Amino acid sequence: FVSVLSSAIIAYRLPWTWKCSKILMKFIHAGLNTIAMILAIVSMVAVFEYHNARNIPNMYSLHSWIGLTAVIFYSLQLFLGFAVFLLPFAPVPLRAALMPIHVYSGLTIFATVIAAALMGITEKLIFSLKNPAYSASPPEATFVNSLGLLLVIFGALILWMASRPHWKRPPEENAKVLRPIGGTSEGTEAESTMTDGSNADKSDLGINSEAARKQNLKLDEAGQRSTM
């Protein structure tokens, strides 16, 4: 869940993906998130079946509470992502308004999943290591503690990549926005700049023409005065 979800988060942030079309990256992002959701559901079903088979109480630890909360919010995130950003029905202003919330909630869910994983491996060590105990720092404890540190470092690296502007997909490759069916796509920023530049040239030309006209009127008036 952690590895696939992190891959979905940085799908837009990898420089070698910037040459791919935006719609292709959207499908890759959605596909990775769907795989992560399937893995999470399979894992939760396995956990509940294991607990029930061994008569272990369900949902009593903080690890289980945070894990279930992360899966519930992740399912909502996935549904809204499909409905608003992947399907071409949502209006562009709605997408623009929800995009910061979508990004923030995705990163928050990822951090929550990392926290749940850290709690889970610690809980497993406490319950499993009896002789020697977890407090005696056997090799198993050292190995799993090292795994936890690597998870923290890995999560921090993913969050750093997802929050740094220089890892963001360049706007010239990301300028076309899907419109609802029957609408037209927006032009690129380069086209917008060219249009603005053209309008500015036309405006300058109009100003220059007006100035020339006024100058000619002044010359005509001066000529009439000299004649009179």
pLDDT tens-digit readout, 50-72? 999 999 999 999 999 999 999 99
Task: Please state, as a whole number, how many other Cβ atoms lie within 10 Å of the Cβ of residue 137.
Answer: 12
DSSP, res 182: T
Confidence of residue 119 (pLDDT cuts 50, 70, 90): very high
Q: Which residue shows structure tokens 């990163």?
A: 107
Alpha-carbon gap, residue 143 to 137, rounded angstroms: 10
| Res 30 pLDDT > 80 | yes
Give me the pLDDT at residue 169, please: 86
Domains detected in the chain: 1-172 (1.20.120.1770)
Confidence of residue 83 (pLDDT cuts 50, 70, 90): very high
| Res 167 pLDDT > 90 | no
CA distances from 152 to 108, 113, 115, 147 (A): 14, 11, 9, 9
Retrieve residue 37's tokens: 């959701």
Give me the pLDDT at residue 165, please: 87
Lowest-confidence range among 3-7, 37-41, 105-109, 189-193? 189-193
The amino acid present at 180, given as its one-letter code, is: P
Alpha-carbon gap, residue 129 to 136, rounded angstroms: 10
Q: Which residue shows structure tokens 């709690």?
A: 119
- Are the beta carbons of 145 and 158 closer than 8 angstroms? no
| Res 82 pLDDT > 90 | yes
Give me the pLDDT at residue 207, please: 46
Retrieve residue 82's tokens: 């499909």
Retrieve residue 65's tokens: 């509470």
Q: Which residue shows structure tokens 């407090």?
A: 135
Confidence of residue 202 (pLDDT cuts 50, 70, 90): very low
Q: What does R_g of the chain's alpha carbons equal in angstroms? A: 30
Quick one: what percent of the chain has pLDDT higher than 70? Answer: 75
Confidence of residue 213 (pLDDT cuts 50, 70, 90): low
| Res 26 pLDDT > 70 | yes
Give me the pLDDT at residue 166, please: 86
Alpha-carbon gap, residue 145 to 129, rounded angstroms: 13
Q: At what angle do helices 2-9 and 22-53 cross, to 10 degrees?
A: 160
Q: What is the mean pLDDT of the chain?
A: 81
Q: Coil, strand or helix: which one is 169?
A: coil
Lowest-confidence range among 118-122, 124-128, 159-163, 179-183? 179-183
Higher pLDDT pick, 31 / 227: 31
Task: State pLDDT tens for residues 168-197.
Answer: 888 754 444 434 334 433 333 333 333 344
